[in-house]
């Protein structure tokens, strides 16, 4: 059984609810959520003239023997079903789901890069991940764990989002 880490973001509609729905849908397809982080709020990266994001991370196990490419296909399908439309690069979105780690796999293809290519410079990814697995040493990180990468992260653009709503894990 492979353990994988996913990052979630939303800046359209009920942002926390969008992430919760994505977590639930993943569970429906056999990606069992073992842990989910708190929510964090961050400014948009790239195209900055848009609403702030709510971000979170989840630690999942595959009930089925999914390959990383099958997980990516599932993620993209859920994003589409939830109404994500890719019209503006780095534009507003109801839901964004990124495959950050797939076990300790290193993958570099035209369609998929794992670990996610920019996870180590994005505080809104590192903070929720550190909440769940601070001692995890990502492949290709030179033996540094997530908590060390967070200390070194140049991005200072993220803060806990205490809005009275929290994410839950389906049993």
CB atoms near residue 97 (< 10 Å): 24
CA Rg value for the chain: 15
Q: Rounded to the nearest 10 degrees, how much is the dihedral formed by the CA atoms of 148, 69, 65, 139?
A: -20
Taking phi over 0 as left and psi of -120 to 50 as alpha, with beta for the rest, 129 belongs to alpha
- How far does Cα 121 stand from its chain's mean position? 14
User: Three-class SS of residue 119?
Assistant: helix
Nearest CA among 8, 40, 39, 2 for reference residue 24: 8
φ, ψ of residue 152 in degrees (nearest 5): -85, -10
Measured at the CA of 47, the angle between CA 41 and CA 48, to 5 degrees, comes to 50
Residues acting as catalytic residues: 84, 93, 96, 98
């Amino acid at each position: 059984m492979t353990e994988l880490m996913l990052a979630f973001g939303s800046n359209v509609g009920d942002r926390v609810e969008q992430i919760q729905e994505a977590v639930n849908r993943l569970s429906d397809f056999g990606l069992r959520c073992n842990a989910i982080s708190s929510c964090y709020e961050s400014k948009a990266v790239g195209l900055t003239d848009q609403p702030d994001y709510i971000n979170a991370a989840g630690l999942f196990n595959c009930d089925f023997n999914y390959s990383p490419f099958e997980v990516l296909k599932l993620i993209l399908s859920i994003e589409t079903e939830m109404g994500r439309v890719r019209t503006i690069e780095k534009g507003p979105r109801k839901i964004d789901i990124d495959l950050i780690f797939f076990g300790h796999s290193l993958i570099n293809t035209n369609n998929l890069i794992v670990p996610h290519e920019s996870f180590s410079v994005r505080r809104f990814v590192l903070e929720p991940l550190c909440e769940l697995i601070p001692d995890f040493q990502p492949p290709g990180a030179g033996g540094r764990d997530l908590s060390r990468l967070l200390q070194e992260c140049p991005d200072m653009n993220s803060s806990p989002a205490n809005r009275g709503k929290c994410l839950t894990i389906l049993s």
